[in-house]
Chains A and B, each alone.
Chain A
Amino acid sequence: MKLVARFSAILLLSMGLSLNAHAFPDEDVSIVIPYSPGGGFDRAVRAFAPYFEEHLGGDVTVLPRNVPGAGGRRGTTSVYRADPDGYTLGIINLPGFALPRILGEPAEYDLREMSWIGRLEAQDYVLLVASDSDIKTIEDLKQLEEITFTSTGYGSTVLAATQIVASALGLQKKNPIYLAGYSGTSDSLVALVRGDGNVGMAPISSAAKYIQSGDLRALAVTGASSPLEGVPTFAEAGYPELTALNLQRALAGPPGMSDELLETLRAAFNKTVNDPGFLESAKKARMDVAPLDGKATAEAVMEAFEFYEKFKADLSNPNAQ
């Protein structure tokens, strides 16, 4: 009797264990942050991780992991090449990480193949001038003879955005200068205030404080609606093709993840972005939460590629001879 009892106990236990062994997640999940600690992506993932962990279930930790290098390519490549077992995920900068491929450079990954779990944030761009400038509207800008944009370097999303706007507004024929050597968006905005250049683009969240303090004036924003008082969208100003120009942060896994794995992760993702605790945390981390579920994110990726393909001719290096 005792033997049978013990035997069945062991049998049941091992059945239970083997069932568990196939249940996801049963070890720690890492979210790769392709930048050094301290930046916006880092903050976003660290705000997101603990709530994601809760909603994922299992008794595992979700670990943010910084893998900086090559402007984000190193981290993204490591996610792209990882096993599609769900334990390695990454936070992706759209269109940032798509640009190398779009610009025709060798890229070890293709964002269109990755398994999209969901989009965390989206930010629109704003067209800016210094407040002491005479330029008050887009029309004023188009009248200028000498146009000098301040921007970050070739390969950056801000420069791409700048070139696209310049193209859509028909400014290319004025041979604008692109002061594209600033090390960061903040530097390029300060340069605009200083007067190194007379116009620039930036994500709204980066520019907000300069607009608030009155150092910079916004001319127009991308996106469907304008969060800034008195500032029209590009669509309202007559350039609807610029509406889709934006910056997104999304969570993805390597290509080839199984449907059920993706389901689990997407479900956990959706629960997390609706969790009021997370939203509190996100506000503190100054995230612009604009969630999209996994499927819609995958579509957004394709749309982004199409958008940039359209403007491809305008995206070559303005300072290469």
Chain B
Amino acid sequence: MFDSVFTAAEYLTDGMNLLFLMLGVVVGIIFGIIPGLGGATAIALLLPLTFGMQAEQAITLMGGVMGAVTIGGSITAILLNTPGTAPNAATCFDGYPLTRQGKAGMAIGAAVTASSIGGVIGAFILILLLPVAKNIILYFGPPAYFMLAVLGLTALTAASSNLLRGLVGACLGLFIGFVGYDDMGGATRYAAGVDYLWDGLSIVPVLIGLFAIAEMLKLYVMGGSIAKTGETGNLGVSGTLEGIKAAFRHFKVILSGSAIGAVIGTVPGVGGTVASFLSYSFTLQTSKDKQNFGKGDIRGVIAPEASNNAKDGGSLIPTLAFGIPGSAEMALFLGVLILHGMDPGPMLLLEREFTIFVLILALLAATLVSGVIVLLTARYLIKVTFIDSAILIPSVIVVSLVGAYALHNSIGDVFAAAFFGVLGYLMHRFDYPRITLVIALVLGGLMERNYFQTSLMYRGDWSKAFGDTPFVILLVLAVLALLMPVISSVIKRKTRQSV
């Protein structure tokens, strides 16, 4: 196996292939930055270019894109409170407040470092798990996925500063998720006859609205620029260095984030976004001093960014092992594989070891290279936040709406984004957290679908679910997550008493 790794590494450093990698990285960063575009769109666009290429070249190109996209996305998340891609959403919560405090450089430095290391860890986990990939996928069934969704939703209780309003936001998020055709029960829900809503509301226009547009509305109403002028010290090189150091200081957060990212990334359908939220939540819940989360705690940037790069490793497991794409990005990547004669499935891992290592190394290289590129260009990117709002607002709104349109060539997405922009503004105005809405939206479908699958599977007898090990493990974790606030306050009281 190890010689495959070396030949793969050699392959990547060969001129033409290196060029493809760099091309992929640059495209990935740009597509990551522009909200609405993302890994899936980038791959879709580059797909025709790969027709004449060797399989490994196409893979290098795509690996470059996938490794770089979420790093690009973190920039907009941090600077403009707009997730460049859905998995960057959690990065907004602490990244943007840091920018407002003038510490954008630090945030970017930390995000990039966390991303790169997370990507490396994710790649290693992929290598480790690939031989047993099949067993892993087979291990998790509907009962486990249901409980995973419940676990994610219990993370809500920790994520909201105002519990009651947080839960209200979550209910809203669940209802948004209900919109559309339900292919289990057969009813079309909450669509009021509008064709566009038949497919449901896709997460990207919702995110663009709730964050980018809402932010621009806020900016309009309050005036000024994004960064409150004053502390310019943390921009530029020293700022980013500070961020890099911070990331290493909180290495544990990177580790937990990466682990969560890689594992949750294997769940088809929700991988990246859920992973970053869970990672954020987990770090939040397990930290001693939590009051700065949501206001600019650097760990709130490190955790999700580590996980959203590690998830690439994770989401390749079902893709390569069974041809089950974990996300739109993976679905397209699958298309690339098939086009070049690779048939994902139990046979692939045995037959194409070299190609797979090229992919893994390309991913690795991409995270590192894109990290370096972003760090070098950080100071110019940060200047954006000082642009006067009159210029910034129309520009960001226009580009965001174009991005929203570009996703599915649908003007409906544009209206949806605008609608959620207004909603996002109102939620901020009246102090309702948006984070719980997003978490519930992402997880609701997973929970409902797998609830009914499990119920059908066991013919209504849920006691059988306790025979499913992952179900039980996740149930215990969910209960722990629910009780965590109680447990930690009890511990705090005890330690205070013993002092």
- Chain A residues within 8 Å of B, Cβ to Cβ: 36-39, 42-43, 46, 66-71, 73-74, 146, 148, 152-156, 177-184, 186-187, 190-191, 193-194, 196-197, 209-210, 212-213, 215, 284-286, 317, 319-320
| Contact of B328 with A36 in the complex, beta carbons under 8 Å | yes
| A154 in contact with B339 given A37-B44, A38-B331 (CB within 8 Å) | no
1/0 per residue B266-307: CB within 8 Å of A? 001100000000000000000000000000000000000000
A-B contact count (CB 8 A): 121
Residues of B within 8 A of A66 (CB): 409
Q: Which residues of B contact A70 (CB under 8 A)?
A: 181, 195, 198-199
Docked complex Cα distance between A320 and B331 (Å): 30
Closest CB in chain A relative to B193 CB, distance in Å = 10
A89 to B183, CA, bound (A): 28
Residues from chain A with Cβ under 8 Å of B181 in the complex:
70-71, 155
Closest A-B pairs by Cβ, 9 of them:
A153-B183, A209-B345, A213-B346, A38-B335, A38-B332, A317-B186, A37-B44, A186-B324, A181-B453
Complex Cα–Cα for A187 and B334 (A): 14
19 further A-B pairs in the complex, CB-CB below 8 A; given A180-B183, A183-B449: A37-B335, A38-B47, A39-B331, A39-B335, A43-B335, A69-B199, A70-B195, A71-B181, A73-B198, A155-B183, A179-B456, A179-B457, A181-B142, A182-B453, A183-B268, A190-B324, A193-B138, A284-B339, A286-B343
- Taking the closest CB of chain B, its distance from the CB of A247, in whole angstroms, is 17
Is there a chain A Cβ closer than 8 Å to B137's Cβ? yes
- Cα of A321 to Cα of B324 in the assembled complex, Å: 31
Asked whether A37 lies within 8 Å of B324 as measured between CB atoms, the reply is no
Q: Is B456's CB under 8 angstroms from A186's CB? A: no
CB proximity to A under 8 Å, residues B328-381 = 328, 331-332, 334-335, 338-339, 341, 343, 345-347
Is the CB–CB distance between A42 and B452 below 8 Å? Answer: no
The reply to whether B335 and A69 form a contact with Cβ atoms under 8 Å apart is no
Q: Name the contact of B341 in the complex, choosing from A152, A156, A213, A284 (C-beta under 8 A).
A: A284
Q: Which residue of B lies closest to A70 (CB)?
A: B198
What are 21 A-B pairs at a CB distance below 8 A?
A37-B332, A37-B335, A38-B44, A38-B334, A38-B335, A69-B198, A69-B199, A70-B181, A148-B456, A154-B186, A177-B459, A179-B453, A181-B449, A181-B450, A194-B138, A209-B343, A213-B346, A317-B185, A319-B185, A320-B185, A320-B186
B323 beta carbon closer than 8 Å to chain A:
yes
| Contact yes or no, A154 B138, CB < 8 A | no
Which residues of chain A come closer than 8 Å to B343, judged between CB atoms?
209, 286
Closest residue of A by beta carbon distance from B350: A213
- Which of B268, B269, B346, B453 interacts with A209 by CB under 8 Å? B346
Scan B205-230; emit 1 where CB is below 8 A from any A CB, else 0: 00000000000000000000000000
Return chain B residues, CB-CB under 8 Å to A156: 183
Q: Which residues of A contact B456 (CB under 8 A)?
A: 148, 177-179, 181, 319
